[in-house]
Amino acid sequence: MREALLAIEKLTFGGAGLGRLDGQACFVPFTAPGDEARIRITKAKRSYLEGEVLELLQPSTLRAPPPCPVFGSCGGCNWQHLEYPAQIAAKGDIFADLLWRGGKVERGVILPALAAPNPYGYRSRVQLKLRLAAGTLHMGFYRGGTHYVVAIPGKCAIADPVINRLITELRLLLREFPSADRLPQIDIAVGDDGLAILIFHFIGDHPAELHDFLVQRLSMLPSAAGIFLQSGRKSTLTRVAGIEKLSYRVPSGFLPDLPETVLSFSRGGFSQVNYRQNLALLSTVAAWLAPSGTERLLDIYCGNGNFSLPLARYVSSVVGIEEYEPSIDDARWNALANGIDNALFRCQAAMAGIQALVAAGESFDLVLLDPPRSGAADIIAHLHALSPRAIAYVSCDPATLARDIGLLRAHGYTVTKSRPIDMFPQTYHIESVTLFEPCTK
């Protein structure tokens, strides 16, 4: 493929830098605005080009030395080569651009991106990939766009310190396991109290082999408070040893007059990967919904009650809907453990749950959405029937958020404010909160 000189103008969603060759957009990973580079074109499409850096001729002033020696090879991070303020500025611009192009949201209603207090060492969950090659076990993350495992050299720069201790312990442990080639993945999750749960994914014919191996060597994993084995779908998850739940706190007084609220989630259950920024999401949602104590709140995709249980103290009642039964069990347990008696949790798919509420003639003053990456397009047409005065939409994908903004607008709701929140420093991923209210026209 041909070579060219390229000046990088800005960063884009997906992480690459953008420059132009003969008027055509060219995307180059691991570049920074202000870079001038000699590149090789790796892909040529009718509407765009992709390239790779051969030589950095003039580095951008926004560059910073990446702390991870495999950055650029490992697919876990995109932007370690950028100063953190430059990452935040880029995320704000990218988010605003996507919402304008996909949802026609004016820049004036988008607040500046909220930076994370800890841009490294924040990640509380990882999925380690494993590959045995020439007798050596490689444990780390996939190279971008491949299933090639890039081994973690020592520690992962964005992972919680407890996770890095466990990575060291796992290296030593798995040297002794004869069927390590049957271990494609190990999940690690850590609570904000430092307790950790491991899930070993085993694809061999005899899971008991791994179970017995782990039981006999528990002392080699001192940083693991709980160990599980999964040999297929989640239904195969079995406990080997230790605890079954992890927890994190919403501190006393974090919201006005809020007592300390401890929220737990089961092994294999969902939690946000950045506990500090999860609190930022919660405070934003609470401030924007502005409950006065009399409202009914509907929390769709409620998980373990991450938002609805702290908010329950400021509304008259809460209904939470979630289709993953272990998470509903967690939400009910969390309500009981925190003395919250005005929250009802239903194990239903979002569509079925909303349709049942509409059929029963229910209405809600406030609605909270925290959908998966695919968004909430399937349920939006039914929300207006519940007559909410405000809808808070927590999104992990600006593209599906932009699409859903158009759908909500068609059903009488407009964006009154939106804010990107940096849940994933060193990556291009963008979490956000967006507030919808009924159109006044």
What is the pairing mode between strands 125-133 and 185-190? antiparallel
Give SS3 for 197: strand
> Which residues 6+ apart lie within 8 Å of 268 measured at CB?
187, 199, 228, 230, 234, 237, 326
Distance, in Å, from the CA atom of 395 to the CA atom of 374, rounded to the nearest integer, reads 10
Distance, in Å, from the CA atom of 150 to the CA atom of 76, rounded to the nearest integer, reads 10
Identity of residue 125 = R
Burial environment of residue 366 by CB neighbours within 10 A (0 to 12, 13 to 18, 19 or more) = buried
- Name the residue with tokens 């950095």: 56
Which of 77, 302, 396, 439 is catalytic? The answer is: 396
In this structure, are residues 224 and 197 in contact, taking their beta carbons and an 8 Å threshold? yes
Q: Which of these, 209, 139, 220, lies nearest to 179 by C-alpha position?
A: 209
Cα 431 versus chain centre, distance: 7
Cα 116 versus chain centre, distance: 14
What is the pairing mode between strands 196-201 and 3-7? unpaired
- Residue 396 annotated among the catalytic residues of the structure: yes
As annotated, the active-site residues are 396
